Amino acid sequence: MLIIPKFSFGVGDRFGRQGSAQLRAFEKIHAAGIDVAPVWNKSNREHVFIGTKPDSVRTEADAAVRAAGWKTPYFVDADHIGLKTVEDYITASDFFTLDVADFVGKPDADAKTFADRQAGPSGKVRVDLPGGLPPLEAGKSDIEAAADKFLGAVKEAGRIYRFIEKAKGAGNFVTEVSMDETDVAQSPTELYFILAMIAEEGIPAQTIAPKFTGRFNKGVDYVGDVAGFDREFESDVAVAIVAAKTFGLPTGLKLSVHSGSDKFSIYPGIRKACRKFDAGVHVKTAGTTWVEEIAALASVGGEGLALAKEIYGEASAHIDEMTAAYAAVIDIDRGKLPTPAEIADWSAERLCATFRHDPRNPEYNPNARQFIHVAFKVAAKLGRRYLDLLDKFAKPVGEAVTENIYQRHLVPLFKSDA
């Protein structure tokens, strides 16, 4: 069976130029004695917006790996696919994120029998958790409520899983079930029963992406109660360990955090929980590399700076169109966005600092960063003009991409003791 290693980290590359630069970040952490498997992910939505095909991600990943002589596992993730979209990803991908969020909350006729089975004659379930955590307790009505919310979604995941299994063969791919794009976070108790449903459905899930408490806005830090997240995450890790054993799911079953990129303030809690339970984790990012490209192009001055300003200006002229598809995952205060006229005479350093995610820099503007994060359609429209500049400034842009993934993400998640 193809197994995802204990630690893995998802990277996205909207324009397909930074595969090698991204891989260098994984080489650096490997050189520091920590193995983190790179996973290149691109959602169907991104492919549609940019006009790329799933095979391009496989081509890019393979080329980067070949060029670097990378010897340990790596994956290509069909990110957020469903029955309608999965077909195009079959050959390119060996990691499938089955997105069944749209099926959450649709009551299922089998909910009651599921609850009866789980609750048994006593009519309740008590789950002892490791690590000094309080046990989970649920009565039959709690279990039935969970099944009413999630059983239909898990059955849909089963249909997608079997479609892929038929095409690729069992054991030849990694399966993730994702329910993160819903309105309400799932509690550790709900997660426990979701995993029971996944096991009953016969899905050998290796990663599970619940919705966590708090806001996961695009490209900026976590918004919410960090201590509360830490507690929830620790419980979820413990639940995954116990559920894998109890229900016979793959041993290394781990949580997948769909981070929306750059959730720096919850990285220490994730790292500590993994250490405490000797558990693995998958953290998915995507747009952080695209924003790094723009920040780095701005930083080189001259035509790079001019193009970054042009992209920002063009995006500002179509702000509603840029932000519509992402309304649920951005919080942009439009009053705090600099106008294109204001940035016209800004220096390379100032514009770069506006976009780059350095919270200590007074020029850093999380509103502008979220906005540029969702504005990649403008660069896609520029086509060759954008790509040619990326090629021309491949060195400074690539170095910035590597540093971003390594220093801001891999080190605090997997290495730092701070």
Q: Which residues contact Zn ion (rule: CB under 5 A)? A: 180, 258
86 versus 311: smaller Cβ distance to Zn ion: 86
- In the chain the first and final C-alpha atoms are separated, in Å, by 36
Residue with tokens 């896609």: 380
DSSP assigned state of 173: S
210 versus 366: smaller Cβ distance to Zn ion: 210
149 versus 284: smaller Cβ distance to Zn ion: 284
Q: Which residue is nearest to Zn ion (CB)?
A: 258
CB of 191 vs Zn ion, minimal distance in Å: 16
Written as one letter, the residue type at 244 is: A
Chain centroid, CA 393 distance in Å? 28
Please give the Cα distance from 310 to 298 (Å, whole number): 11
Q: Helical H runs in 69-139?
A: 111-119
20 versus 370: smaller Cβ distance to Zn ion: 370
Check: CB of residue 3 under 8 Å from CB of residue 33.
no
22 versus 259: smaller Cβ distance to Zn ion: 259
CB of 260 vs Zn ion, minimal distance in Å: 8
Number of Cβ within a 10 Å radius of residue 164: 22
Beta bridge mates, 138: 125
Please give the Cα distance from 294 to 379 (Å, whole number): 10
46 versus 180: smaller Cβ distance to Zn ion: 180
Beta strand extents in 259-373 (DSSP E only): 281-284
CB of 157 vs Zn ion, minimal distance in Å: 14
CB of 30 vs Zn ion, minimal distance in Å: 26
Number of Cβ within a 10 Å radius of residue 203: 22
CB of 346 vs Zn ion, minimal distance in Å: 34
Written as one letter, the residue type at 268 is: P
Angle at 209 between CA 233 and CA 117, to 5 degrees: 90
CB of 338 vs Zn ion, minimal distance in Å: 30
Please give the Cα distance from 192 to 242 (Å, whole number): 8
CB of 79 vs Zn ion, minimal distance in Å: 7
Residue with tokens 């290394």: 252
205 versus 296: smaller Cβ distance to Zn ion: 205
